[in-house]
Amino acid sequence: MGQKTHPLGFRLGITKPWLSHWYSRKEYAKFAREDDLVRKTVKEKLFNAGVSHVTIDRRGASATVNIHTARPGLVIGKKVRGLMG
């Protein structure tokens, strides 16, 4: 039986984009843990919204989280109250 290759890891950087956009030498583990926690929290809170994937972009001290969803009305809410609020 042969070794199986993960479909995302096999195509990463060639036909599929990275899910996080940042670089750090000293704080790599911290940022990777934060990214995982953010993705898990968003997917749990917005389970009914049909979240396909979450992209995280860090520039300096700020971070931008892009949520790709099938039902954006559930994320934004009535009267644009804000995310998960």
Domain-embedded: residue 61: yes
Q: Which domain holds residue 38?
A: 19-79
Residue with tokens 């843990």: 33
Nearest-CA neighbor of 42 among 13, 74, 17?
A: 74
Domain-embedded: residue 54: yes
* Residues 56/63, Cβ–Cβ less than 8 Å: yes
Q: What is the CATH number of the domain that holds 60?
A: 3.30.300.20
Domain-embedded: residue 85: no
Domain-embedded: residue 7: no
Residue 3 confidence (pLDDT): 85
Residue with tokens 């009914």: 48
How many separate domains does the chain show?
Answer: 1
pLDDT averaged per 10 residues, the chain (length 85): 83 85 90 94 90 91 91 78 56
The single-letter DSSP state of residue 12 is B
Domain-embedded: residue 68: yes
Number of Cα atoms under 13 Å in the Cβ half of residue 33: 4
pTM: 0.74
Domain-embedded: residue 1: no
